[in-house]
Every structure is written in C-alpha cells, then in structure tokens.
A = this chain, B = another copy of it.
Amino acid sequence: MDAAETIAERLNAGDRSALARMISWAENGDERFPAALAEIFPAVGRAWRVGITGPPGAGKSTLTNALTSLLRERDRTVGVLAVDPSSPFSGGALLGDRIRMEERTTDPGVYIRSMASRGSHGGLARAATDSCDVMDAFGFDRILVETVGVGQAEYEVVGATDTVVVVLCPGAGDSIQAMKAGLLEVADVLVVNKSDLPGADRLLMDLEEAVTTRTIRRDGTDAGWKVPVIPVCASNGDGVSDLTDAIAAHREHLSSADLDSIRRLKRVAQVRSVVGERLDEVLFGEGDWAAHVEARLAAESTPYDVAAAVVTSILAGDSAMSDALGDGNR
C-alpha cells in the first residue's frame, strides 16, 4: 500500500502513474487523499479550469476534443475530466467513446480521465474538484471538465470551475428547451455547436437576446461580464479559436476582478460539503447510531423530532447521542 507522501512526491516529480493513482484516491474517497493533497497543495492554483456542459447530444465530447487539439497546437498542456452519466446505484459508467478516446491518447501533454456519476451527489462535486486539484498540481495549463448538464450534481461540478462553457445545438426538442433555462444561468460562455445545421442562426439570435436580458447570477461573479455567444462547428474546428479567445477574455475579466476571493468562495463551499460528508459518515456510517434513530422512529417520533434530537446532541458535544435519543445502551 502506497503512502500518501510517496505518491505525492512521485506526482510532484511528474510521474503519470502517480497522477492516475491520486485521482483514483479522489474518486474513491480514499483516506490517504487528504494527506497527499496537503503535500501537493502549494502547487495548486496555476491551471485555468473550464467546465463544459450542455444537454445530451449537444456535442460536448467533440468540442472537448477540438478544444484540446487547438490548445495543444498552442503548446498548452491539457487535463480532461469527463463526468459521465451513470447509475446512482451501481456506480458504473457508460463510457463508450470516452474509453476509446483515452486509449488513443499518446500525447504526454494531454491527460484524459473519466469519472462516473456517483451515488453521493456531494461526493461527485468533491471528487471532481479533488481531481482537478491533482491535475493542477501536476502542472497542466488547462483543465477541461465535461459533464452532461441535466442534474444538480452536474451543475455543482461545473460550478467549481473558473469558466463555464455551456454547449447547445439547434434542433433539440422541447424537453431540452426546458433544461436550457437552468443552463443559461451557469454560463460564462455560450456555444452554439453544429452551427452549420438549420436553425443555428435562430438559436444564436435567441441566445443573444436571452443573454442581454438575463438576471445576474446569484454569486455575483459575473458582474460586468457580458456572456458571449460563439458559433462553433466542433466536428471541423470552425469557431473553436473564437471559443478559446472568449475563455481567455473571461479569464482576463476574473483576474482583473478579485480572482483569489472568487476561488476562495468556491473553496468555502467545498469545505461545507466535506464537513457534511464527514459528519454524516461519523454519525450514521460508523457504529450503530442509525439503529438508534430507527428505534426512535419506531416509537412514532417524526423525522424532524429525531433529527432535532440528533443535532442538539451533536452541538452539545455528546457524540454518542445516547442521552438525547433516550437510549442507555451506549
């Protein structure tokens, strides 16, 4: 079993197998991860993180590939994290193309990694952010995080990146339209992919209008930023250069504002999420406290009464909870 320090040291030395290992630790919530992260943390923060999201079928993978190629032409190294749809129960991913893409990669300036959507949603965002930190410390200039923009967990994943690119394409049905509303609000840059298809001009116009009238994001990070709408044809590369320009402009914008404090706010959210996971683990994952809760529920208490007793108990420092739950066994 590798020690956290050994892996971190190898990662700092540029060992790609250490990179792969540490991302696996992040993905599986391995207990060695936090110590390894602490070792490499000083090197975290140099990469620019780009989230790429959109409805199924918008061509996100093709765009990610095209963007990667262009960035490589410009001598930027690129880490790609693809968060695929999968079962919340089996934890298995439906990778398909992605696996083929991983196999194809022989360029040492590119690293591609897939990650399954996990049962624990907080867990998915955490694992993705951790993986980005690892790729960042390894030294990649750009990190592309690709998700299917359909669920809350996926929004959280891209929300942790620096620039969020939302990819849409003409000809999608009404159900896709419904998803757009939420997607528009997370976008720093909008892409109309498959811009050669009928309806692309109309979609561009509609988006331009939506962007002009849209409300400011709650976190306020886009104050003064006008979301550009970029026509792209990812399959032949048209417009991809415009997209990199738009991403660069957004980076410029955030850097001239207070990038550090914006990133720190995202870190606070990460701490909240880790605190929540850990407390849940301690309270319900270990020992037989779930059984105590069950016993109390069987006695006709409402879930809120039981939860309130648990919370009171925790805040009073009674981590065994036995008094509050009226159970003398512990």
A residues touching B (Cβ–Cβ < 8 Å)? 33-34, 37-38, 41-42, 55-57, 85-90, 92, 94, 117, 119, 121, 124, 148, 150-155, 173-176, 178-179, 181-182, 185-186, 215, 217-218, 264-265, 267-268, 270-272, 274-276, 278-280, 282-284, 290, 293-294, 297-298, 300, 302-308, 310-311, 314-319
Contact = CB atoms under 8 A, between A and B. Distances in A.
26 contacts: A34-B304, A37-B302, A57-B173, A57-B175, A86-B181, A87-B185, A94-B178, A94-B181, A121-B153, A148-B175, A150-B150, A265-B294, A268-B293, A268-B294, A271-B293, A272-B283, A272-B290, A274-B303, A275-B279, A275-B283, A275-B307, A275-B311, A276-B279, A278-B308, A278-B311, A317-B318
**DSSP majority for the A interface?**
helix
A328 B175 CA distance: 53
A148 B94 CA distance: 20
Nearest 7 CB-CB pairs, A to B?
A317-B317, A151-B151, A56-B175, A34-B304, A274-B307, A87-B182, A150-B150
B311 A279 contact: yes
A257 to B, nearest CB: 17
Contact of A34 (B38, B150, B308): B308
Contacts of A305: 34, 38
A148 B150 CA distance: 10
Given A265-B294, A271-B297, A279-B311, 17 more contacts: A37-B302, A38-B305, A56-B178, A87-B185, A94-B181, A121-B121, A153-B153, A267-B294, A267-B297, A271-B306, A272-B293, A274-B304, A274-B307, A275-B280, A278-B308, A314-B314, A314-B315
Contacts of A304: 33-34, 37-38, 274
A222 B73 CA distance: 54
A269 to B, nearest CB: 9
A185 to B, nearest CB: 5
Nearest to A307: B274
Contacts of A153: 121, 151-153
Nearest to A274: B307
Contacts of A310: 271, 275
A276 B276 contact: yes
Contacts of A87: 181-182, 185
Contacts of A37: 302, 304
B185 A90 contact: yes
B88 A182 contact: yes
A298 B264 contact: yes
Given A34-B304, A279-B279, A303-B267, A88 B57 contact: no
A48 B30 CA distance: 40
